[in-house]
Every structure is written in structure tokens, then in C-alpha cells.
A = this chain, B = another copy of it.
Amino acid sequence: MDLHSLHDIPHSEERFTGYLKEICETFEFDDAAYAGINPVGGTMHAIVTYNEDWQNHYQENGLHLIDPTLHSAMRSVAPVDWSRLGRNANFRKVFDTARDFGIGEFGMTVPIRGPYGEFGMLSVTRDCDAATWKKLKRNVIADIQPVAAHIHDHVMGSEPLTKFLHHPNLSRREKEILQWIAAGKSQQDIADILCISSRTVEVHLRSARQKLFALTTAQAVGRAIGMSIIYPS
């Protein structure tokens, strides 16, 4: 996820806000926010319980570009506990202002990665002292990832395109050759490697493009990677 994309994210989707509010009540958080992107459908989602003023401020000032909670989550497999982030200039810039809006600096952000490249982040926060946060964190740690996964599934599952996700039936040869293309080999290279004619390579690529509904081979590579049929290399 490119953080620039977050600027274009649509306004909080109210139909899911209830879920986040329920989480806040259940786990005693003040606020929660979910941001998600589905590369296959090219869609983005946001759900936020924060008040309008903070939302506007955050967006207008492009705080997502420097927010260390987001940056860390993007590079992490596990949930990111804000209290473990360095209190550097960016952190201060975000959270000193947040305080004016009643938002504290204790929270956590849970990255969620799905099988088709979907990516989401669930952030939850509570304005409290360190000891309370430590206790709250321990109480919710068991549930936060399943909860995040649940929200993510719900949001992604609300997209028609995801439901339509049809796994194309590439032959083994087609996959193999497309993988070599992704590795930077030319058709002639691949022909030499596989001891076949370059015209045969061309035929397989054409077939693969058709099955992937791709106009070009580069597009086919991209789609196949997006569907985990082949891998970057």
C-alpha cells in the first residue's frame, strides 16, 4: 500500500461504523479506524469512529504520510503496539495534535493481509495512562487479530468483484513460461531453457494472456502475480 493512496480514500463508510463502535464498547477503546485496499478490484475502504474534526485535520495535513503507526504496521506481520514506537518528530507531530482532539497516544494497529493481495489495517486507541494501557492490551491481545480479520473479511466480502474471483485455469506450461517472463527472460531465452521453439513459447504466452484477459504480457504477469499464480522474481 502506497500511503499516497490514503489521500484518495473515500469518506468513512457508515454502514460498517457500527462494527467499530461495537469493538470500542466491547474492548473499552475510545476510537477505532480501519483502512483497507483491494488491489484486484482497485478499491479502497475506510471506516472511522474518530470525530469529524480530527478526520478533517488528519486528512488535510496529510498526516497519513508520516504517521509512524501506519508505517510500522505496513512493515509488520504482527500487531504494532504504539507504546513501543519511538517518540520521534513524526510521532510527536501526529500525536501532539491528536491530543487536542482528545485522542491519546496509546493504541495498536493490526495489519491484515489476505490471499489475493488485499491489505488492511485496524487501529484502536485509548486515552489512558501507561499502566492502564498495559492491562488493556493484555486483555485484548487474544482477540484483536480475529476481530481485525473479521472486519476485513466483511469489508472485502462486500465487494462484488471479490466474490467473482475466478481462478483462471493456466496449464503448467503456461505458468512455467509466464514465471520465466517474470524473471526477465526473453521468449528466445525461455525456448532455449525449455528446449522448445520460441514459436511455441509465443503460443503459450498468447494462451496465458487470453485466460488472464490481459492485453499485454506485462499485464498478464501482473495479474498472475496478483492471483498468486506466479511470483515476482
Contact = CB atoms under 8 A, between A and B. Distances in A.
Contacts of A184: 214-216, 218-219
Interface string A60-77: 000000000000001111
Given A74-B115, A77-B112, A232 B228 contact: no
Contacts of A2: 175, 228-230
B232 A222 contact: yes
Contact of A77 (B1, B78, B113): B113
A39 B230 CA distance: 9
Interface in A140-158: 141-142, 145-146, 149-150, 152-153
A231 interface: yes
B219 A226 contact: no
A222 B175 CA distance: 14
22 contacts: A2-B229, A39-B232, A39-B233, A42-B231, A76-B115, A77-B115, A77-B149, A113-B113, A117-B232, A181-B218, A182-B218, A184-B214, A184-B216, A217-B218, A218-B221, A219-B233, A221-B222, A222-B222, A222-B232, A222-B233, A226-B232, A227-B232
